[in-house]
Chain A
Amino acid sequence: MAATLDTLLPPERVQSGPVPDDPFGNHAFTRVYPESEEEIAAVLRYAHEKGLSVIPSGNGTKRGYGGLEETADILLSLARMTGITEHSAGDLTMAVRPGTTIEAINEALKPYGQMLPLDVPWPEEATIGGVIAANDSGPKRLKYGSARDMVIGLRVVYPDGKVIRTGGNVVKNVAGYDMNKLFIGSMGTLGVISEVRVKLRPLPPFQSLLLIPFDEADHDALSAFVIDLQNSHLEPSALELLSPRLARRLASGSTWTLAVAFEDREKAVIAQEAWVKEKRATDIIAFRQDAAAQWWREFSRIAPNAAGRGPDPPTHATEIAIKIGSKNADVIPLLLTGDALAEALGVTMHGHGGVGHGISRLYAQGADAALLQYVEEVRRAAEDKEGYAIVTHMPLSLRRRCDVWGGKPTHFPLLRAIKQSIDPKRVLNPRRFVGGL
C-alpha cells in the first residue's frame, strides 16, 4: 500500500513503520502527510476505491477522543497543511489551512489587533482543523461563542475525493443548507477539512481576571453570587468555576474558586471589577493585561493531551477527561457531585465549568476500574439533570470498556443516514463517533 501511495505523494511524505508506543490508538502503520488539497483528495480516492479506512489527524492532541481501533489502514496527517491562505483585515475574516495551530493563527493576527477567540486547550499544538472537527472550546465561549458561531466556510474533501465548499466568504450567508454545521464536531467522520474560513474579532483593548474563592462549606454563597452577577449588567467573557484541586494549582487557595474575566474598554473593565469587589470583597486575586493572559495560558495546559505533552507535573496514573453539557444552573451542582464522586472513588479530579455556558470539564486520574465507574456515575448525575457526559480523552483499552459517547440519541437514525449518504464505504474514522458512526 505504501508503494502505491508513493505514486500519489512524494515518497518522503509517505511513512511506514510501527505506531508510537502510547495507549491511545487511532493510529496507522502507514502515515501520509499531504501538503495540498489535491493530495488529500488523491489519498481519499485511493482509500475509497480500495475500501481502506483513514484516520484524519492534526497534531494528535485528540487521539484519545473516541474510536475503538488501535490502527486504521492510513493515518492522514494534516500537520503539514499549515498557513494562512487569506486574511482580510477590513472584513475581519480569514482563510487558513487545517494544520495551522490556534496559537500560530493568533500570533499572525495580533499585529492587526484581531483574534480568533477559540480559547481551547493546548493552543500551541491544537490545529484549527482538529478543533473544528472535535468542536473544542474554552471558558470564553461565554462571550465569543464556539466554532459554530465563527466558521463561515469550509473546504471539505469528501470520502470519495470530491471537494465541496460549504458556506462562503462572507459573514452572513443563508444560501442553501448551512453545511458548515455538518462538519463542525463531526469528529472527522464525514469529510476531511482542507481549508477553514472564520470570522474574527478585534482584540479586546483591555482585559482582567478576578479569582474569587468561596468557603468550602458555603455553596449557597457561591450560587447566590453567581445568580447576582448574571442578573447584573456585567458582561464577563468567562465565568468559570474551578474545583478546589484545580484552584490549588491555578489560584492560591484550595477551595471552590470563581474565575471571572472581563475583556472590554479599560474603563468598562475597571467598572465591572469594581462591581465585583463591592459585592465580594474577600481575598480576590486580580490579574490584568499580560498577567491575565499568562494565567489563561496556564489554564490552557491543564487538560490531558494525547500528543504527549501530558500533565505537569507528570503522572503515571491513567488520566481521562470528561465533558459535561448541562443547563447553566446545573453546572455548580454537577461540579460538586463530580468532586464528591471522585473523593468517594479514590480518583483525583481537577474540574471546571462555565456557569454561564453549561459546559463542564472533569480531568480525572486514578485506577482504571475506578475511572470507569467514575464516568458511569458522573454520566448518571448529568443525565438526571437532562444533560450529558462524554469522555474526550481516555486510553483505548478503557474506551473499549465503556461507551465514551454515552449511547445513542433518539434521533440517531438521522445521524446514521447522513453518514451513510456521505461515507457509505465507511472510509473515514470508522467507529470514532456516537453510536459507532
Chain B
Amino acid sequence: MFKKTSAVADAVVRGLQDIVGPDKVLYQSADLLAYECDAYTLHKGMPRAVVFPGSTEDVAAIVKFLNRNRVPFIARGAGTGLSGGAIPLGGEVIISLVQMKKLLHLDLTNRYAVVQPGYINLQLTNAIADRGYYYAPDPSSQGNCTIGGNVAENAGGAHCLKYGVTTNHVLGLEVVLPNGEIVEIGGAGMPDAPGYDLIGLLTGSEGTLAIVTKIVVRILKVPQDKRTALAYFDSIEDASRAVSAIISCGIVPAALEMMDRIAIEGVEKAAFPVGHPKGIAALLLIEVDGIAEGIEDQIRDIAEVCRKCNVREVKIAQTEAERALWWANRKTGFAAMGTISPDYLVQDDVIPRSRLPEVLARIQQISEASGLRIANIFHAGDGNLHPLVLFDSRKPGESERAVQASMACLKACADAGGSITGEHGVGLEKKEAMRLIFTDEEIEAQMAVRRVFNPNDLLNPGKLFPTPGRCAETKQAEPEAVTGH
C-alpha cells in the first residue's frame, strides 16, 4: 500500500507495523482521507492510522497494543454506515476488517454459516443460492456492506418485516474485547446458551463494546413461491391506511414498502425507471412468499384490502425480470434522489405503523415550514420511515435548514411513540437525539454496560450516547509514551 522509505515518526504506527507488517498500515494523510467519514458525510475526522488485520490474532494483538498505550480505536467494515459510527473524532486508529473476508464454514444440514466480519452480505446469499438457501437480512447496501458491520449496526432491510433483522439471525460470535482478549460466545450456534444473552447485547452495539471477528449466522431455505405487487394510490392517506389494514388482516408480507410522490419522481428519473403512472400520490411495493398453494389467496386478500382503501390500481409482477426491476427501482431509491436534488439527508425514524397517516401529514407540514421538499421512501410494514430532506448545500443556510427539518421529523416520530432509529444506528449523528426517547437514568444504565466491556472508553469513543457538556474530546496518546507489545 505504500513504500517504506524511512522510519516512521509515530511510534504507534511503528508498533502497528510491527504487528501486521508495514504494508498493512496506512498513516500518510493522503491515504487517510478516504477514512474521514463513512456513508454519513456531514461530519469528518482524521484517523491517526488505518490498520488491516488478517486474523483474529492480529486484531487481538493490535487491540492489546492500543489499549496498553491508551490510543482510541474504531472497527470499520465497508464504511456504508449511515449514522457516522465509523467516523473518527480525530486521532483514532481505524481497524479495518475488510481483509478478513472469508466464508469459513458452511453447514447446510444445521442451517448456519460461519463468516469473517469483512465478508460481504450479498456474497453469502450468492454462495448458497444454487442450493436453495439464502441469508435473510438485506440492507439496501447489501452488495457492499459487510456482515461484521451488519452485526455492529443490527442492520435491517426490506424483508425484515417477516424474517427479522440481523439480531434474529446471529447464532454465535467471536469477539475481541477492548482489552485484547478473544472471547467466543454461543459456540457453534447453539440456541439459548446458558448465561446472559451477550450475542443479543453485542449485536447493534455499534462497535462500542467489542470487535466482532467471527460470526455464526442462520441461513434459511428460499421460499417455494413469491409474488410481488405494486399498489398505486391517489392519496397518501389511503396508502397509509392500507398499510395498517394489511398488517392487521392476518397476513405477514415478506416486504411492504412505500414511496410517495417526490420519491417516485426521483426513482423514475434514475437508473431503474418502472413507468409508474403519472400523478399518483403514493405506491406500495408488496411481496408475499411461502407455500405456493397459499400465495394466490394472500395476494388476492391484499388486493382486496387495497381496494377498500381506494387503490387506483394493483399490478402483479408477471416475470422475475419485472419483479427484479421493481426492487431495483426501490432499493436504489436513496441514490436516485441525486437526480432531483443536489443533496439529501436521510432520516431513519420508526413509528407504530397505525400512526402512519398522522406522522406523514406532520412531515408534510415540516416540509412546508422549512421550504424544503421531503421525499418518503420507506419500510412501511415495520413503520420504519426514511424521510429524505432534499436541499442544496451551495445555497447559504440551506444545509442548516435541512438538518433542522430532518431533526424535526425525528422529533415528530419520537412524539408519536416511536424510535429515533430503526436500522441505521445512532452513531455520531443521533447521539444527542437519544434524549428524545431515553431518560438520563436509562442512558446511564446503558453506559454502565459499556463500562463493563469498554472500561477505558478506547473503543469507538464519543458515539452512541449524548455528550455531557463539552468535555468529550477524544483522548490521544503521546507518541513518546508508546510501550512495546
The reply on B140 being an interface residue by CB < 8 A is no
The reply on A248 being an interface residue by CB < 8 A is no
B352 engages A172 (CB within 8 Å)? no
Docked CA distance A205–B354 (Å): 23
Q: A271's contact among B291, B418, B465, by CB below 8 Å, is which?
A: B291
Docked CA distance A145–B445 (Å): 28
The reply on A182 being an interface residue by CB < 8 A is yes
Docked CA distance A344–B195 (Å): 31
Docked CA distance A414–B160 (Å): 30
Contacts of A327 in B (CB 8 A): 107, 110, 188-190
Contacts of B224 in A (CB 8 A): 233
From A43-51, A83-91, A313-321, the one touching the partner chain is A83-91
B379 engages A172 (CB within 8 Å)? yes
The reply on A401 being an interface residue by CB < 8 A is no
With known contacts A149-B164, A164-B441, A235-B290, A170–B464 Cβ distance under 8 A: no
| Most chain A beta-carbon neighbours within 10 Å: one of B184, B352, B424, B430 | B352
Contacts of A113 in B (CB 8 A): 250
From B54-62, B293-301, B330-338, B388-396, the one touching the partner chain is B293-301
Instruction: Sort chain B's interface into a size bin.
Output: 35 or more
From A13-21, A276-284, A383-391, the one touching the partner chain is A383-391
From A207-215, A260-268, A302-310, the one touching the partner chain is A260-268
A170 engages B198 (CB within 8 Å)? no
| Most chain B beta-carbon neighbours within 10 Å: one of A181, A205, A227, A406 | A181
The reply on B153 being an interface residue by CB < 8 A is yes
Contacts of B442 in A (CB 8 A): 164-166
Docked CA distance A46–B148 (Å): 44
Contacts of A177 in B (CB 8 A): 201, 204-205, 209, 446, 449-450
The reply on A337 being an interface residue by CB < 8 A is no
The reply on A171 being an interface residue by CB < 8 A is yes
A172 engages B156 (CB within 8 Å)? yes
Within the complex, the shortest CB–CB distance from A355 to chain B, in Å, comes to: 11
The reply on A374 being an interface residue by CB < 8 A is no
Nearest B residue to A326 via CB reads: B190
A409 engages B195 (CB within 8 Å)? yes
Q: A178's contact among B154, B292, B353, B354, by CB below 8 Å, is which?
A: B154
Mask: chain B, 223-264; 1 = CB below 8 Å from A; 0 = not: 110000000000000000000100111111000000000000
Instruction: Sort chain A's interface into a size bin.
Output: 35 or more
Within the complex, the shortest CB–CB distance from B379 to chain A, in Å, comes to: 7
A181 engages B205 (CB within 8 Å)? no
A359 engages B449 (CB within 8 Å)? no
Contacts of A137 in B (CB 8 A): 192
B419 engages A170 (CB within 8 Å)? yes
B248 engages A415 (CB within 8 Å)? no
A174 engages B204 (CB within 8 Å)? yes
Q: A235's contact among B203, B291, B445, by CB below 8 Å, is which?
A: B291
Contacts of B291 in A (CB 8 A): 233-235, 264-265, 268, 271-272
Within the complex, the shortest CB–CB distance from B47 to chain A, in Å, comes to: 25
With known contacts A90-B247, A172-B384, A265–B297 Cβ distance under 8 A: yes
A434 engages B194 (CB within 8 Å)? yes
A172 engages B423 (CB within 8 Å)? yes
A181 engages B197 (CB within 8 Å)? yes
Complex interface residues of chain A between 345 and 369 (CB less than 8 A to chain B): 357-359
A185 engages B197 (CB within 8 Å)? yes
Docked CA distance A148–B189 (Å): 15
With known contacts A172-B382, A265-B298, A203–B164 Cβ distance under 8 A: no
Nearest B residue to A180 via CB reads: B200
B198 engages A171 (CB within 8 Å)? no
A421 engages B195 (CB within 8 Å)? no
Within the complex, the shortest CB–CB distance from A327 to chain B, in Å, comes to: 4
Docked CA distance A89–B193 (Å): 33
Mask: chain A, 81-103; 1 = CB below 8 Å from B; 0 = not: 00000001111110000000000
Docked CA distance A146–B423 (Å): 21
The reply on B53 being an interface residue by CB < 8 A is no
Complex interface residues of chain B between 102 and 156 (CB less than 8 A to chain A): 107, 109-111, 132, 153-154, 156
Within the complex, the shortest CB–CB distance from A162 to chain B, in Å, comes to: 6
Complex interface residues of chain A between 413 and 437 (CB less than 8 A to chain B): 414-415, 417-418, 421-422, 433-434
B383 engages A171 (CB within 8 Å)? yes
Contacts of B9 in A (CB 8 A): none
Within the complex, the shortest CB–CB distance from B148 to chain A, in Å, comes to: 16
A182 engages B201 (CB within 8 Å)? yes
Docked CA distance A168–B451 (Å): 23
Within the complex, the shortest CB–CB distance from B448 to chain A, in Å, comes to: 5
The reply on B221 being an interface residue by CB < 8 A is yes
The reply on A176 being an interface residue by CB < 8 A is yes
B293 engages A267 (CB within 8 Å)? yes
With known contacts A165-B442, A177-B446, A178-B200, A421–B426 Cβ distance under 8 A: no
Complex interface residues of chain B between 418 and 433 (CB less than 8 A to chain A): 418-426, 430
The reply on A135 being an interface residue by CB < 8 A is yes
A145 engages B168 (CB within 8 Å)? yes
Docked CA distance A270–B452 (Å): 52
Contacts of B154 in A (CB 8 A): 174, 178
Q: A268's contact among B183, B290, B437, B446, by CB below 8 Å, is which?
A: B290
Contacts of A148 in B (CB 8 A): 167-168, 197, 200
Mask: chain B, 173-217; 1 = CB below 8 Å from A; 0 = not: 000010000011101111111111111110111000100000000
Contacts of A178 in B (CB 8 A): 154, 167, 200-201, 203-205
The reply on A329 being an interface residue by CB < 8 A is yes
The reply on B350 being an interface residue by CB < 8 A is yes
The reply on B453 being an interface residue by CB < 8 A is yes
Within the complex, the shortest CB–CB distance from B66 to chain A, in Å, comes to: 20
The reply on B417 being an interface residue by CB < 8 A is yes
B418 engages A264 (CB within 8 Å)? no
Q: A359's contact among B192, B197, B451, by CB below 8 Å, is which?
A: B192
The reply on A405 being an interface residue by CB < 8 A is yes
The reply on A4 being an interface residue by CB < 8 A is no
The reply on B351 being an interface residue by CB < 8 A is yes
Contacts of B351 in A (CB 8 A): 170
A186 engages B196 (CB within 8 Å)? yes
Q: B448's contact among A271, A386, A422, by CB below 8 Å, is which?
A: A422
Within the complex, the shortest CB–CB distance from B56 to chain A, in Å, comes to: 15
A358 engages B383 (CB within 8 Å)? no
The reply on B165 being an interface residue by CB < 8 A is yes
Contacts of A433 in B (CB 8 A): 195
Within the complex, the shortest CB–CB distance from B301 to chain A, in Å, comes to: 9
The reply on B2 being an interface residue by CB < 8 A is no
Docked CA distance A267–B293 (Å): 6
The interface of chain B, by Cβ under 8 A from chain A, is 107, 109-111, 132, 153-154, 156, 160, 164-165, 167-168, 177, 183-185, 187-201, 203-205, 209, 221, 223-224, 244, 247-252, 290-294, 297-298, 350-354, 379, 382-384, 417-426, 430, 434, 437-439, 441-443, 445-446, 448-453, 464-465
* A-B contact list, 9 entries, CB within 8 Å: A113-B250, A149-B164, A170-B351, A186-B196, A265-B297, A267-B297, A405-B194, A414-B183, A414-B453
The interface of chain A, by Cβ under 8 A from chain B, is 88-93, 112-113, 135, 137, 145-146, 148-149, 158, 162, 164-166, 168-182, 184-186, 190, 201-203, 205, 227, 230-231, 233-235, 264-265, 267-268, 270-272, 323, 325-329, 357-359, 386-388, 390, 405-406, 409-412, 414-415, 417-418, 421-422, 433-434
Which 9 residue pairs across A and B have the least CB separation, nearest first? A181-B200, A268-B294, A265-B294, A90-B354, A233-B224, A268-B291, A202-B250, A271-B293, A267-B293
Q: A90-B247, A359-B191 are known contacts; what are 4 more A-B pairs with Cβ within 8 Å?
A: A88-B352, A89-B248, A177-B201, A414-B453
